[in-house]
């Protein structure tokens, strides 16, 4: 690494403080980071389509604070952080376009702040390239404007690792470490623990007690509501953890690497995860990224400055471990924290490669790397287009189902159960219910009693038998679904 300050676990070397030219250079130094963050926000708005309706999980989080529909069942693994994150918009507006714009701007700002925590640990050009590498992944762009927790864990983990390295020398970094840890735990407590595990281990070392205290305080503050809710609504913390594990298929040894590879072609959830692997062009970057990060570590170690490169690698490995080896399904968003943490060491290696080539080969090496990055970006944008188009089509199908329900007289207050009940119910402004599965929150007897009072509907896959209580209800075909419904005023 050339230029900028160099990090060690013992502190950070800085230039002359207080000099006017230093302050001017400091202001100019953040401009590349701001440009990357602004480009990330703009790309979300242009490529992910703000009009894309809410996804299944998004409706669960948004419904907790929205007045558009009753709150959906909140299962054990979920945390309230995302619901509170969207509350400034979702609590008073049902506009998906407005919500997407708000989240795109917020995620861009969070990326900028996370990258800033690494100033002095890597040169600004490395931070800008690392931020661009992470921000240009299709999964990062796709989930930036969505009400989902994984990106916020990723940005919190990136900021926490940077703040940890600075915390010994800077009091403000300890506050940043606490805030970053709180953000992770606020949105996904168990993921926060895995991502912070290397920080905790290093914090036990001599001289890092204040950093450890800040880390623990942040994690505790972020997870406090989740733990309190476990006691109040889930039968205790141990029971909630057990229920969360069961919903994820039971945490046990399972090599999910092939599952994650299958998901890289644009499958937002791969459960069950079967079928052929995507074309190698879609998965090559997945192997290159960690290799570049390791190369960055090797180069940093040879230069006598391994700390800033080793720590994000350790945190990335820890954050990825449960999703690669402990669950039996996959989703690309699960590995967002690992991608964010690997991006900076990978960028450092990329920028070092031309400089380490022979003088007469530096330009060809740089040109080859630029071509490779351009091809990589083209692949990411192609997958993003495919994924966003598929998600938009699915969300429009839910909106059409909601319109059909309204046309049939199933209007709020109302109840929807059956296949894809949660997103359809939210789109229709109805309550959702389930008598079995991970989202079970009622019984058939309770459903029957409710259907005597308010309009109700059951969504059943075409060709399947409806529940016994709905067999006498009127029905219509809706795509690949049979919709059974009853409106009490009109009779079954």
Which pLDDT score, from 0 to 100, does residue 248 have?
A: 84
What angle, 0 to 180 degrees and rounded to 10, lies between the N-to-C axes of helices 171-187 and 209-233?
Answer: 20
Model pLDDT, residue 479: 85
Contact yes or no for 200/194 (Cβ under 8 A): no
User: Comparing C-alpha atoms, which of 120, 131, 123, 158 is closest to residue 34?
Assistant: 131
CA dihedral 100, 101, 103, 108 (to 10 degrees): 140
**pLDDT by residue, tens only, the chain of 492 residues:** 343 333 334 344 433 444 556 555 666 778 999 999 999 999 999 999 888 999 999 999 999 999 999 999 999 999 999 999 999 999 999 999 999 999 999 999 999 999 999 999 999 999 999 999 999 999 999 999 999 999 999 999 999 999 999 998 899 999 999 999 999 999 999 999 999 999 999 999 878 899 999 999 999 999 999 999 999 999 999 999 999 999 888 888 999 999 999 999 999 999 888 888 999 999 999 999 999 999 999 998 887 778 789 999 999 999 999 999 999 999 999 999 999 999 999 999 999 999 888 888 889 999 999 999 999 999 999 999 999 999 999 999 999 999 999 999 999 999 999 999 999 999 999 999 999 888 899 999 999 999 999 999 999 999 899 999 999 999 999 888 999 999 997 544
* pLDDT value of position 92: 96
Task: Give the model's pLDDT for residue 361.
Answer: 87
Whether the full predicted model's pTM is greater than 0.75, yes or no, is yes
Contacts of 142 (CB under 8 A, 6+ apart): 48, 268, 384, 387, 388, 391
- CA 448 to chain CA centroid, nearest Å: 38
How would you class 489 by CB atoms within 10 Å of its CB: exposed for 0-12, middle for 13-18, buried for 19 or more? exposed
3-state secondary structure string, 140-208? HHHHCCCCCCHHHHHHHHHHHHHHHHHHCCCHHHHHHHHHHHHHHHHHCHHHHHHHHHHHHHHHCCCCC
Distance (Å, rounded) from C-alpha 186 to C-alpha 25? 35
**In whole angstroms, what is the distance from residue 100 CA to residue 439 CA?**
26
Whole-angstrom distance, CA of residue 97 vs CA of residue 464: 36
Range 354-363 contact pairs with CB under 8 angstroms and sequence separation of 24 or more: 355/2, 356/299
Distance CA 212, CA 161 (A): 12
Q: What would the two tokens of residue 162 be?
A: 């940077």
Q: Where are the domains of the chain?
A: 7-47+95-356, 392-486
Output the CA–CA distances (angstroms, integers) from residue 61 to 87, 222, 402, in the order listed. 10, 17, 19
């Amino acid at each position: 690494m050339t230029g900028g300050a160099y990090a060690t676990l013992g502190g950070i070397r800085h230039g002359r403080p207080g000099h006017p030219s230093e302050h001017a250079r400091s202001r100019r130094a953040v401009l590349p980071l701001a440009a990357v963050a602004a480009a990330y926000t703009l790309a979300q708005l242009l490529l992910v389509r703000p009009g894309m309706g809410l996804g299944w999980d998004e409706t669960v989080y948004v419904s907790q604070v929205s007045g558009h529909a009753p709150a959906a069942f909140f299962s054990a693994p979920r945390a309230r952080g995302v619901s509170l994150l969207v509350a400034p918009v979702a609590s008073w507006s049902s506009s998906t376009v407005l919500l997407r714009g708000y989240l795109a701007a917020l995620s861009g700002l969070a990326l900028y702040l996370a990258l800033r925590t690494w100033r002095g640990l890597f040169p600004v050009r490395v931070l800008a390239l690392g931020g661009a590498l992470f921000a240009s992944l299709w999964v990062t762009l796709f989930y930036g404007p969505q009400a989902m927790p994984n990106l916020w864990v990723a940005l919190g983990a990136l900021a926490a690792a940077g703040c940890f390295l600075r915390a010994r020398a800077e009091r403000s970094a300890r506050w940043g470490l606490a805030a970053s840890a709180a953000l992770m735990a606020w949105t996904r407590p168990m993921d926060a623990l895995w991502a912070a595990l290397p920080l905790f281990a290093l914090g036990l070392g001599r001289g890092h007690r204040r950093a450890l205290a800040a880390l623990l305080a942040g994690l505790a503050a972020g997870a406090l509501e989740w733990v309190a809710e476990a006691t109040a609504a889930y039968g205790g913390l141990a029971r909630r953890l057990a229920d969360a594990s069961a919903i994820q298929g039971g945490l046990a040894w399972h090599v999910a690497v092939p599952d994650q590879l299958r998901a890289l072609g644009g499958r937002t959830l791969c459960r069950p995860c079967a079928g052929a692997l995507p074309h190698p062009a879609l998965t090559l970057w997945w192997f290159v990224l960690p290799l570049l990060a390791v190369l960055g570590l090797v180069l940093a170690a040879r230069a006598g400055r391994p700390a800033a490169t080793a720590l994000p690698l350790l945190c990335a490995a820890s954050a990825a471990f449960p999703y690669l080896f402990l669950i039996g399904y996959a989703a690309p968003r699960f590995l967002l924290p690992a991608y964010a943490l690997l991006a900076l060491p990978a960028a450092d290696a990329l920028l070092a490669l031309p400089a380490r080539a022979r003088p007469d080969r530096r330009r060809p090496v740089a040109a080859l790397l630029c071509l490779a990055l351009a091809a990589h970006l083209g692949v990411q944008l192609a997958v993003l287009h495919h994924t966003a188009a598929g998600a938009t089509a699915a969300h429009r199908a839910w909106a059409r189902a909601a319109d059909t329900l309204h046309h049939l007289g199933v209007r709020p207050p109302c109840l929807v159960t059956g296949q894809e009940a949660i997103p359809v119910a939210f789109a229709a402004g109805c309550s959702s219910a389930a008598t079995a599965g991970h989202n079970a929150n009622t019984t058939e007897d309770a459903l029957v009693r409710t259907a005597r009072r308010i309009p109700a509907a059951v969504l059943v896959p075409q060709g399947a038998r409806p529940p016994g209580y709905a067999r006498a209800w009127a029905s219509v075909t809706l795509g690949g679904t049979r919709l059974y419904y009853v409106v009490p005023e009109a009779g079954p």
